Amino acid sequence: MNPSKKLARKAGFYYLLVVVFSVLYMEYIPSKIVVFNNEEETINNLISNELLFRTGILIGVLVHLSFILLPLTLYKLLSPVNKDHAVFMVVFALISIPFSYTLLLDQFDILELLKNYNQSNVHDTKEIGSKVINIFKRFYNGFFLAQVFWGLWLFPFGYLVFKSGFLPRVLGIFLMLGCITYLIDVFGGTIFSNYYDVVDTRILIIPATIGEVGICLWLLLIGVKKNIKF
């Protein structure tokens, strides 16, 4: 296997870890615990799924580690295309890591609340459940801000894919569009109070999803091919 294909496969593997771990960490596990309008159900879910929640913290560590390795590996693969854009790609990606890691501290606060709840003779389920819900709100608000950089890194990445000649140009276009839609979501959700009454975020980020999942699978399964025209 030539060095470029080996790098591509390695990047695809890291990307796959990021995708799978992100779905578990940010979507699946929280959906099993937090019920934003029901404090008692939230704390009961947390008690019933404590091991799953603790596993989620470790998955959070792994997803951020994977997201450090991913752009660094992509830099080795794509810097010959354009070094300046490759640097921007890495910088924008890595800036998001401190934001994301600090959110893990809140997860340990939830473990402390659960410990106090289990040791207390008087279980104020509603109060503790409310605190857990507030921590999850900060969790999602933090990811909302980190989304700025999750978007920004996609533009130089998409440009490099588009210009490479050994990766599909169409995926580069979707990655660059993904940057734009991520930023639209952040700025729209911040400026307009009724933004989410009008815009479905899951539809808005379809270009990013196609671009990221597509390039992940291409890198992992195919690697690089010379003179790609599409």
pLDDT tens digits, 179-199: 999 999 999 999 998 998 888
Q: What is the mean pLDDT of residues 206-222?
A: 95
In this prediction, what percent of the chain has a pLDDT beyond 70? 96
Please give the Cα distance from 51 to 29 (Å, whole number): 11
- Produce one character per residue of 14-39: b if its CB has 16 or more CB atoms within 10 Å, e if not: bbbbbbebbebbbeebeeebbbeeeb
Note the helical H segments in 23-124: 29-31, 39-48, 50-78, 83-119
Tell whether the model's pLDDT for residue 54 goes beyond 80. Answer: yes
Please give the Cα distance from 92 to 166 (Å, whole number): 23
Question: Does residue 180 form part of some domain?
Answer: no
In this prediction, what percent of the chain has a pLDDT beyond 90? 61
User: Most confidently modeled of 165-169, 198-202, 221-225?
Assistant: 165-169
Q: What is the mean pLDDT of residues 198-221?
A: 93
Domain hosting 109: range is 3-150
Give the pLDDT score at 159.
Answer: 97
Give the pLDDT score at 121.
Answer: 54
pLDDT bracket for residue 38 (50, 70, 90): confident
Tell whether the model's pLDDT for residue 157 goes beyond 90. Answer: yes
Query: pLDDT per residue over 73-123, tens digit each?
Result: 999 999 999 999 999 999 999 999 988 888 888 888 888 888 877 766 555
186 touches 147 (CB < 8 A): yes
Residue 96 is encoded by which pair of tokens? 């998001």
Give the pLDDT score at 106.
Answer: 87
**Better-predicted residue by pLDDT, 227 or 198:** 198
pLDDT bracket for residue 201 (50, 70, 90): confident
- 1 DSSP 8-state letter: -
Question: Does residue 213 form part of some domain?
Answer: no
Q: What is the mean pLDDT of residues 42-62?
A: 92
Which residue matches tokens 């911040």? Answer: 190
Which residue matches tokens 């390695």? Answer: 10
Question: Does residue 125 form part of some domain?
Answer: yes
Question: Does residue 194 form part of some domain?
Answer: no
**Better-predicted residue by pLDDT, 116 or 71:** 71
> What angle do helix axes 83-119 and 125-152 make, rounded to 10 degrees?
180
Q: How many domains does the chain have?
A: 1
Question: Does residue 209 form part of some domain?
Answer: no
Give the pLDDT score at 61.
Answer: 94
Among residues 100, 108, 110, the alpha carbon closest in space to that of 22 is found at 100
208 touches 22 (CB < 8 A): no
Give the pLDDT score at 130.
Answer: 84
Give the pLDDT score at 188.
Answer: 93
